[in-house]
A and B are shown apart, each in its own frame.
Chain A
């Protein structure tokens, strides 16, 4: 170790941290703004509206009415698909959408927490994807091979997710702490390794389903899956409860624990933390291990809760959606929770929307992208909704306003 403590990589709070630390008005504003833009997009791509637009100058109201109808119907369908279906024939059918939303949101909560936690310690863990995969691999392997009763297998599955993701994240922290390499580059590379490791292992006897030539594992046994919370036909599983516990844990960790105090200090001012005797490099290793463990739990929830099998698509785009979720949730545990729920609702409702109104489900991706875009450009949202600027120097408009107030 030739590095002196002073030379340990100690970045100043980055632009990311600032973006992640915006206020709640900003998050809500970003969601609203993207809904408005998304609505315009739905209207513009709607065949009826396009038809009416061909004679726009003769009867402009037709176009506007058609566009309004298209957008509101699509959003209504999205809402019904995500929360409550009034047309359902039984109570179970009526409330099924909200349980779907919670199911889809479960892995997003874990992965979102993982990214949010790293943000708070001043790190950008872009590697949640890889950590989810490793969590899924270890959990899945345990689930398939444990051969124990459910009461013993399920804790082992959870532990497997924690260990798999934790090690994968911890490696990033270790490399950063010891060599000063940038965590973004490290975590992108670790994502590649994880993705290819998954494909490779699914083709080896270790995981590949017997007799199959496809990269897919055995189906998980009945003793090796998360129990359903509401029974059939709902898919909502134990993972959601664990996710709630994870939110409480991260909340305690960040706000009440000495470790969290230390991690936040490192994130907000690594120099002052060093001077106060806090080891910045150790903090990086610890936070990346915990962050990885949380992401790993998302992998467990996918394997043992939703999918019940390990496939190459087990992690989907969870790791990247998680970044969005953490940003929208302003890197707070509960903010992340609600943001994950919103994204879960998008996913669950998007399917219904496509089926009942013909609006392409990809609009949901556009909405998500717009939200991130607005969050990354706070002045835009502030200008649209006239939110105050938190940074000292007042906004031109509000300055003008206060001047008016004085004159009055």
Chain B
């Protein structure tokens, strides 16, 4: 089935989210829609899936014009969508989730057998390995995503839209997904793949359409280099690697010893973690999401008072201090989820820039806020960090992800630090801002601070790290040099020890190793 968009435009009031977009997805191919965050990709998907009506333009399926009043129409026409955030009921089984909305019934009882049968069929055909009777909440994220794909396939979707499907996946799961997409393509399905991760895009796409600020800026070829694609996407040359000198160590030291944290359900989240970070170096903490890195960062900042062990910053024990005291001791902290933990969306930009500094003498006197100083601080931070905003009085929630993240980073770097900890510092941030934030992080390192970066993006890890700490199931597997090959790191992230991973790598010598940095 062929999906075609002709001159599709979507406006919200004065804002044009999609400007006259032409796009054709042919059967048996993967068409990638490449664009930065905020380029209008999701709006376009919602237009195709019937959640929004196009302001102008027309959608065609097999050359017939279609008008969708809602997702039901789109689904009936054979369009399936895998959302970035899964639309699954966690306490239902796979079969129940798949049946939801199109249940077949026998009298008054639910007939799940037919659905189970269909799931097995699809699962076998594409090698999904999904048990129809498993509870969704027990499944790993990658498998949950396959359930979403099955949902679409059971409804006989011929066009499949995948909205940033790899954002939540581990590197191994990403490879599996790409394999699945390849099979679906061979099966004659039309796939529309939305992403801003260049490597995946180059690997799987047949056609690439690049959009920027709601407009199609060009068609790209999968054989183009990552930096060529990136510059198309952001409209300027982008540096994907981070320029940095060899570390110059200082005597500032952050030592962690036997750090252990047991979760509320008795499961250990951190197991006797010990490491040191010297002033002037960046320790990147790598690992698949959910292996204790988040808890490590939160424990450092004092959010888990139950943790045991020791964390010494310049000889001073941090463990047992309250968050406020840890911050006062000179720890800068960028939380991994800025919307949840980093910003107050309903506060102004100026207020967000002093969220953890509001009671310092610089910004308050005798219990009153110094409004002028706060505004001045916001203007300075806005200039220094290139925060694109209308006014410092606007709510933080009105900004794009990249600018929001710059607020958090600007705030944390605006005071004298002894240690800088950043979790996923560039998650959901556009390429231009990534470059900027990375530069600032390296600057802090060059000032002689110990810096800890937690990231699930290997590109970021390799770009910033002086050394890499690999976490698996709450354990620090090993701290390895920054030039460790990707494949070795990948094995360690899956639980192999350093020596095992190296050995496996040596046995694989025949195969050329993947270069870790792109676009060179």
> Cβ of A45 < 8 Å from any Cβ of B?
no
> Cβ of B356 < 8 Å from any Cβ of A?
yes
**What are the 8 tightest A-B residue pairs by CB atom distance, in nearest-first order?**
A277-B324, A276-B356, A277-B323, A275-B341, A269-B344, A276-B355, A268-B346, A268-B344
> Which residues of the partner chain A approach B333 to less than 8 Å between Cβ atoms?
275
Please tell me if the beta carbons of A256 and B369 are within 8 angstroms of each other in the complex.
yes
Residue among B11, B328, B344 making CB contact with A273, cutoff 8 Å: B344
Contact A279-B304, Cβ < 8 Å, known A257-B368, A402-B11: no
Residue among B264, B298, B355, B367 making CB contact with A7, cutoff 8 Å: B264
Residue among B13, B303, B305, B358 making CB contact with A258, cutoff 8 Å: B358
Please tell me if the beta carbons of A277 and B322 are within 8 angstroms of each other in the complex.
yes
Please tell me if the beta carbons of A275 and B303 are within 8 angstroms of each other in the complex.
yes
Please tell me if the beta carbons of A258 and B347 are within 8 angstroms of each other in the complex.
no
15 contacts between A and B (CB under 8 A): A4-B304, A5-B322, A6-B298, A252-B368, A258-B364, A261-B369, A264-B344, A264-B347, A265-B344, A273-B355, A274-B303, A275-B323, A276-B356, A277-B324, A279-B324
Please tell me if the beta carbons of A262 and B358 are within 8 angstroms of each other in the complex.
yes
Give the contacts of B288-315 with A (CB-CB under 8 A).
Answer: 298, 301-306
A406 to B11, CA, bound (A): 10
> Which residues of the partner chain B approach A89 to less than 8 Å between Cβ atoms?
none
**Which B residues contact A (CB, under 8 angstroms)?**
11-14, 55, 264, 298, 301-306, 322-328, 333, 335, 340-347, 351, 355-356, 358-359, 364, 367-369, 371
A124 to B302, CA, bound (A): 29
Please tell me if the beta carbons of B359 and A271 are within 8 angstroms of each other in the complex.
no
A117 to B481, CA, bound (A): 54
**Chain A interface residue count, Cβ-Cβ cutoff 8 angstroms:** 34
Contact A271-B340, Cβ < 8 Å, known A394-B13, A403-B55: yes
A257 to B365, CA, bound (A): 9
Please tell me if the beta carbons of A274 and B368 are within 8 angstroms of each other in the complex.
no
Please tell me if the beta carbons of A256 and B306 are within 8 angstroms of each other in the complex.
no
Distance in Å from the Cβ of A209 to the closest Cβ of chain B?
44
Distance in Å from the Cβ of B33 to the closest Cβ of chain A?
22
Please tell me if the beta carbons of A272 and B340 are within 8 angstroms of each other in the complex.
yes
> Which residues of the partner chain B approach A274 to less than 8 Å between Cβ atoms?
303, 323, 341
Please tell me if the beta carbons of B368 and A256 are within 8 angstroms of each other in the complex.
yes
> Which residues of the partner chain A approach B301 to less than 8 Å between Cβ atoms?
275
A399 to B368, CA, bound (A): 43
Residue among B323, B342, B351, B367 making CB contact with A5, cutoff 8 Å: B323
Contact with B along A6-43 (1 / 0, CB 8 A): 11000001000000010000000000000000000000
**Which A residues contact B (CB, under 8 angstroms)?**
4-7, 13, 21, 252, 256-259, 261-262, 264-265, 268-269, 271-279, 392-394, 398-399, 402-403, 406
Please tell me if the beta carbons of B335 and A275 are within 8 angstroms of each other in the complex.
yes
A275 to B305, CA, bound (A): 13
Please tell me if the beta carbons of B368 and A269 are within 8 angstroms of each other in the complex.
no
Say whether chain A's binding surface is mostly helix, strand, loop, or mixed.
Answer: helix
> Which residues of the partner chain B approach A406 to less than 8 Å between Cβ atoms?
11, 55
Q: A272-B340, A393-B12, A402-B14 are in contact. List 9 more A-B contacts (CB 8 A).
A: A4-B303, A5-B304, A5-B322, A7-B264, A258-B358, A261-B369, A262-B358, A272-B344, A275-B303
Please tell me if the beta carbons of A272 and B355 are within 8 angstroms of each other in the complex.
yes
Say whether chain B's binding surface is mostly helix, strand, loop, or mixed.
Answer: loop
Contact A265-B327, Cβ < 8 Å, known A5-B305, A256-B368, A403-B55: no
- List the B residue with the shortest CB-CB distance to A259: B367
Please tell me if the beta carbons of B355 and A265 are within 8 angstroms of each other in the complex.
yes
A275 to B297, CA, bound (A): 11
A239 to B25, CA, bound (A): 73
Residue among B304, B347, B356, B368 making CB contact with A268, cutoff 8 Å: B347
> Which residues of the partner chain A approach B369 to less than 8 Å between Cβ atoms?
256-258, 261
A265 to B303, CA, bound (A): 17
Distance in Å from the Cβ of A76 to the closest Cβ of chain B?
42
Distance in Å from the Cβ of A134 to the closest Cβ of chain B?
27
Please tell me if the beta carbons of A394 and B12 are within 8 angstroms of each other in the complex.
yes
Please tell me if the beta carbons of A261 and B358 are within 8 angstroms of each other in the complex.
yes
Please tell me if the beta carbons of A268 and B323 are within 8 angstroms of each other in the complex.
no
Distance in Å from the Cβ of A69 to the closest Cβ of chain B?
44
- List the A residue with the shortest CB-CB distance to B264: A7
Distance in Å from the Cβ of B56 to the closest Cβ of chain A?
8
A265 to B352, CA, bound (A): 9
> Which residues of the partner chain B approach A258 to less than 8 Å between Cβ atoms?
358-359, 364, 367-369
A13 to B344, CA, bound (A): 11
> Which residues of the partner chain B approach A275 to less than 8 Å between Cβ atoms?
301, 303, 323, 333, 335, 341-342, 356
Please tell me if the beta carbons of B344 and A277 are within 8 angstroms of each other in the complex.
no
Please tell me if the beta carbons of B368 and A402 are within 8 angstroms of each other in the complex.
no
Distance in Å from the Cβ of B227 to the closest Cβ of chain A?
34
A38 to B326, CA, bound (A): 58
- List the A residue with the shortest CB-CB distance to B340: A271
Of B304, B322, B324, B368, most A-chain CB atoms within 10 Å: B368
> Which residues of the partner chain A approach B298 to less than 8 Å between Cβ atoms?
6
A257 to B359, CA, bound (A): 9
Distance in Å from the Cβ of B362 to the closest Cβ of chain A?
12
> Which residues of the partner chain B approach A392 to less than 8 Å between Cβ atoms?
12
Please tell me if the beta carbons of B303 and A6 are within 8 angstroms of each other in the complex.
yes
Of A13, A269, A402, most B-chain CB atoms within 10 Å: A269
Please tell me if the beta carbons of A277 and B356 are within 8 angstroms of each other in the complex.
yes
- List the A residue with the shortest CB-CB distance to B398: A392
Please tell me if the beta carbons of A398 and B11 are within 8 angstroms of each other in the complex.
no
> Which residues of the partner chain A approach B364 to less than 8 Å between Cβ atoms?
258
> Which residues of the partner chain A approach B325 to less than 8 Å between Cβ atoms?
277
Please tell me if the beta carbons of B341 and A261 are within 8 angstroms of each other in the complex.
no
Please tell me if the beta carbons of B13 and A402 are within 8 angstroms of each other in the complex.
yes
> Which residues of the partner chain B approach A276 to less than 8 Å between Cβ atoms?
323, 327, 355-356
- List the B residue with the shortest CB-CB distance to A17: B346
- List the B residue with the shortest CB-CB distance to A265: B344
Residue among A21, A252, A272 making CB contact with B341, cutoff 8 Å: A272
- List the B residue with the shortest CB-CB distance to A1: B305
